[in-house]
Structure 1
């Protein structure tokens, strides 16, 4: 009994003077705020269990029209990293961070991608860049590397974990890119025409040689003129375009009118600026893209 007590005291003493490591509780997850659902998914994939992600603009919600509330400012204030897309996708984000007196790190996830220039029309005369960079999987590789680097700078102990997670995910992105190319390969360039609610597929179109037409242009809040709608209807009839889709966060009324005037059936819902809820086919970035590719190809096959 005395020998056991002596052993316990000796070990305790060694710990106390620093000769043996003490057992410390697990570190708290790194609090991170992502501006919208797609970025939230990417941060969670890279961060894994070492991060706690709060997403401001949730599934099926429009980040363009988002109006922050005090609870959102509080979430940012309590985080150590605020991840935004940039390229004026969330014009409210920096203002929200300033109003919250946020002192943490802000990451512009799109930093380093090759930015697509916007046409100076349809209500965006002052826009300089297409913000929808995630529509090209090769851009998301850049997003993921940026996220891993920022997380590692705030949590050096987790650097190897973030690196491993990002490398694994990048392989999945490369597989997605090849899957898309393989699915599109049988389609002629003439078949590769699609009508969508608003012009959010610019990066996707450039990578995979598809022509997207949208009555609302790149800004879902700007209503097209009657002349623009009439021109689009004439083009659908002339080119016999049957691939017509509405997006999960868009009002389907305009496209419904166009399909009624042209006799073309409206295709399944696509997920573009936001993920779906957990029980829908676009609940993660990879699922969203696979769903969109599958539906787009099926639609273009009818052109």
Structure 2
């Protein structure tokens, strides 16, 4: 029969082991959280791709507004609320691009960091008489800052810093990926500038569905005409369309383009009324579906530039 002292010793050992196990639970959970990819929710597909390019295996990123979808008119679903609630980091554009974001964050109860990629960039506002066929609210900034590759470098740097803050143990790899991706951005930027320089300045005039390419216009010296404003949540008026048709005729803009997020009928009407030719598809606010022409940000930018160049070179 075991002695009382032996029984007490065994019980004491079990008690100490139980305390140790309880003490290790928070450490193990923390270690597991650090070991898994960072859960990132991006507001739309272009930002999700930038996060994926910089984060690589360190992130698990999803986009609330997916390929070929319009973030201007997005309506969050219950699944989006759940996804937001489970995120470690939320990445958004800012500049009032995601008008639904504040409500979504509040509904989800998300308390984590929200990275606004456009913070720190100089804002671009509409300038009357410079290719705009309609009135803008001149106190509102153009949110489509990613349409300038120089601004994409700023986005990448902010994403890199946010990911490093969240996963400091992977800082070296994250910085290396960001540097390599920025080098690709710079190479494409130089190529596009050189190609547009071959087109006479007075022939760089095109028509698009909505005014999403102002940053592209300023960066690469192309004039864009459109009937619809920065936001697509309302249809252009008949007067806006008629005014644009007159402007296309007067300025002899012969290169027309539809967008992946827009109804093509307005551009087709303008083509019919003016005799201009629809030159192809542009990707403004969203990537294309996986495995297609513009399923990453750099592919999108390259596709848009080459489509515009081809249309301008065909113009008389």
What is the TM-score when the length of structure 2 is the normalising length? 0.85
Identify which of 81, 88, 93 aligns with 1:85.
93
Superposed displacement of residue 158, structure 1: 1.1
CA deviation vs aligned residue, 1:159-206 (integer Å, no higher than 9, x gap): 111100110011011011111111111111111101000000011100
The match for 1:15 is: none
Q: Which runs of 5+ in 1 are unaligned?
A: 1-23
Identify which of 181, 190, 193 aligns with 2:193.
181
Q: Aligned with 2:42: secondary structure?
A: strand
* Higher CA-based Rg: 2
Identify which of 213, 223, 233 aligns with 1:211.
223
CA deviation vs aligned residue, 1:84-129 (integer Å, no higher than 9, x gap): 0000000111221111110111000111112101358957537521
What is the TM-score when the length of structure 1 is the normalising length? 0.88
Provide the alpha-carbon RMSD of the alignment: 1.9
Q: Distance in 2 between matches of 1:263 and 1:252?
A: 16
Cα contact 1:123–1:219 (8 A) shared by 2: no
Number of equivalent positions:
281
Q: Distance in 2 between matches of 1:61 and 1:224?
A: 19
Structure number with higher helix proportion: 2
Q: Please tell me whether residue 71 in structure 1 is matched to residue 83 in structure 2.
A: no
The match for 1:298 is: 310
Cα distance 1:140–1:279, how it changes in 2: closer, same or farther (>3 A)?
same
Q: Distance in 2 between matches of 1:110 and 1:25?
A: 29
Identify which of 150, 156, 167 aligns with 2:162.
150
Cα distance 1:25–1:63, how it changes in 2: closer, same or farther (>3 A)?
closer
Superposition map of 1:116-195 within 5 A: 116-118=124-126, 122=134, 124-125=136-137, 128-195=140-207
Superposition map of 1:49-68 within 5 A: 49-68=57-76
Q: Which runs of 5+ in 2 are unaligned?
A: 1-31
Q: Distance in 2 between matches of 1:221 and 1:79?
A: 28
Cα distance 1:280–1:46, how it changes in 2: closer, same or farther (>3 A)?
same
